[in-house]
Structures are given as C-alpha cells and as structure tokens.
C-alpha cells in the first residue's frame, strides 16, 4: 500500500478562496487554519461532507454506521441529519493536461494509458465520466456520459502544445462535477505537474474546488528518471519542488490524493486505490453553524486507530465581498 496523502473539505461558494492549512490526519486530530479570504453569496442550508476511512495499514474501512462518527464544527459538536454508506455510481471527470511540457519524455503517452485504465475500471452503464483538456485554454471535450468509448476515442487525438493553466482548469472542472447527481463524485487531473499559465494560485483554486464538494485526485506522470525514490512514491516535503508541493497541498485541501506514475504498474496501483476509495465513501450531512465565515471541521470516528479523511471546513453566512 503506497503512502498516500489523504484529507477532505468542502462548502457552497461561488468564487475563489485562500484555502486553510490542511486538516491534520487521524482520529482525534484537530483542524486549524486561517480563514480564507473569499467572495461568496448566500449561506448554506446544509453541509454535506464526503468521508473515507482507513485503518492503520491504509485499508479502506467499510460498514461503519452513523453512530460511529463525530462531527466537530469550530470545536462544537454537530448532530448528523443525514447519513449514507455503501457503494454507489461514480461521476468522474478526467482533466487531461495537453500543454507543451507533456510532450517531453513520453508523458502524454503515460497520461493516455492512465485514461484507458480509468475507463476500463469504470462500471458500465452505471458509472459516468467526462473528458476535459487544458493547455493555454480550458475545453470540455466530452460531456458526462456513460458511453465511455466516446472518451476513449478522443483521448488519443491531438498533440501537446501551449502553456499550462492547471489551477484555473481545476476550478472550472470542479464546478461541472459538483452538478452531477451521483453520490460519489471526483475529479482526476492527469498532468506533469508544471503550471506556467494559471491566473489563480494553488490555495485559491483549492478553496474553490473544496467549496463545491469535489475531491481532486492528481496523477502526476513523469519519466522514470524523474520519479523521486523510484517506487510509486508521493513526494515528501524534502523532495518537492515549488510546483509539486503546491499540487500536493491542493490534493489535501480538496480531500483527494496525489499520485506519481512513471510506469504502468504505478498507474494501475493509483487508479485501483482511487476507485476503492470512491466506491466506499460515506456521505455525512448536518446543519451549518450560524456564525458567518469559515468553519473548520473535524470528523472522526469513535473507534480507535482509524484515520478519517474529510474536508477541513465550509463557509456560512450572508453574502459579503
């Protein structure tokens, strides 16, 4: 089991936020962070949080009940008003980097191999997927569909070119995913991790993506000689470049993961773990607090030695600039 980075967050907002520090992992860990500076309208009538739980060995924990969870909102307990557990159909958006840097070292071929593995893993006809691309601009190539061959065909077309608008494109795609009716939703970004053209910073896009309850999973494709540590290793703080570090933070703030793949085996392991997590998420809903602004969240279980991955907060209150 590779050492993945897990944590989750979300709320209901419209523009861009400066995201807080990532939620500390583990049962009993508290969430801290500065309130994001945000433009948003309206409050939230209910807060929905997507939660995954792993044991001390990193394995997915299934079969938990509502009574097993504790929700702490700004340090105060919240009663769970709705709870869902079990497998459900998945809505997965694929955001493919087709910028010029992807042409280096065979990374675009690794990315297309990853898309094929994702499409093979999705379950037809209940699961759905969509394909978006970005270089110097963002484009919806195939809208959400259960006809996965449509994505398979177009993902093989075109050549990488242009600059990268990675963070901007994540924000755009996350909004589309959030509109889907399926209980289990996520965004998978396949990129080489080099952002050269975004107008938004990593914390800003993290705040945007997390605000619409969409975990972002990043699959960073690299040449084997550029793969830190060699064997399917998530970048550590010591190994990260500035770009890679912000991508890892983005994954944490939105409740997703960051994977690095330089061989088909890496890709298979990453995608398998992603789907294991998505298929067995818990959905927790509760009434928001009355205090306007940013509410840090901590969700934990009453059972010891379990690690809960959930978003780190939400926004509440009336409109403000």
Q: Dump pLDDT digits (tens) for 290-304.
A: 888 888 889 999 998
CA angle at 261 for the pair 256 and 266, rounded to the nearest 5°: 95
Residue 239 to residue 207: CA distance in whole angstroms = 25
Sign of the torsion angle spanned by Cα atoms 233, 238, 240, 245: positive
Closest CA relative to residue 24, chosen from 7, 10, 36? 7
**Domains, the chain, ranges and CATH?**
90-279 (3.40.50.410)
pTM, rounded to two decimals: 0.75
Tally DSSP H helices, then E strands, for the chain.
6, 14
pLDDT of 272 reads 92
Average pLDDT over residues 83-112: 89
Residue 36 has pLDDT above 80, yes or no: no
pLDDT band at 231 (very low <50, low <70, confident <90, very high): low
pLDDT of 238 reads 44
pLDDT of 166 reads 79
Cβ atoms of 144 and 129 within 8 Å: the answer is yes
DSSP string, 46-67: -EEEEEEEEETTSPBP----GG
Residue 242 to residue 56: CA distance in whole angstroms = 30
Percentage of the chain modeled with pLDDT above 70: 70
Residue 119 has pLDDT above 60, yes or no: yes
pLDDT of 121 reads 95
* Tokens linked to 211: 């605000």
Mean residue pLDDT across the chain: 76
pLDDT of 244 reads 42
């Amino acid at each position: 089991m590779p050492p993945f980075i897990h944590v989750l967050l979300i709320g209901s907002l419209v523009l861009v936020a400066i995201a807080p520090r990532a939620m500390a992992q583990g049962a009993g860990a508290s969430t801290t962070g500065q309130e994001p500076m945000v433009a948003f309208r309206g409050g939230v009538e209910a807060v929905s949080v997507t939660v995954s739980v792993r044991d001390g060995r990193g394995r997915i924990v299934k079969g938990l009940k509502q009574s097993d969870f504790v929700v702490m909102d700004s340090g105060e307990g919240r009663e769970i008003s709705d709870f869902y557990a079990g497998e459900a159909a998945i809505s997965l958006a694929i955001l493919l980097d087709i910028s010029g840097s992807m042409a280096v070292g065979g990374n675009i071929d690794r990315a297309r191999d990853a898309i094929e593995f994702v499409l093979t893993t999705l379950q037809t006809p209940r699961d759905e997927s969509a394909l978006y691309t970005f270089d110097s601009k963002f484009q919806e190539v195939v809208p959400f569909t259960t006809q996965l061959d449509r994505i398979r065909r177009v993902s093989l077309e075109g050549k990488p070119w242009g600059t990268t608008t990675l963070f901007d494109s994540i924000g755009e795609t996350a909004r589309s995913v959030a509109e889907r009716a399926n209980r289990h939703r996520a965004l998978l970004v396949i990129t080489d991790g080099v952002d050269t053209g975004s107008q938004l910073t990593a914390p800003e896009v993290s705040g945007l993506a997390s605000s619409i309850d969409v975990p972002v999973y990043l699959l960073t494709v690299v040449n084997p000689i550029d793969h830190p540590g060699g064997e399917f290793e998530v970048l550590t703080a010591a190994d990260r470049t500035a770009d890679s570090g912000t991508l890892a933070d983005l994954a944490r703030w939105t409740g997703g993961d960051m994977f690095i793949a330089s061989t088909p085996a890496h890709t298979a392991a990453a995608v398998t773990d992603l789907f294991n997590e998505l298929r067995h998420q818990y959905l927790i809903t509760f009434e928001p607090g009355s205090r306007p602004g940013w509410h840090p969240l901590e969700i934990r279980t009453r059972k010891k030695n379990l690690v809960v991955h959930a978003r780190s907060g939400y926004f509440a209150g009336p409109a403000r600039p």
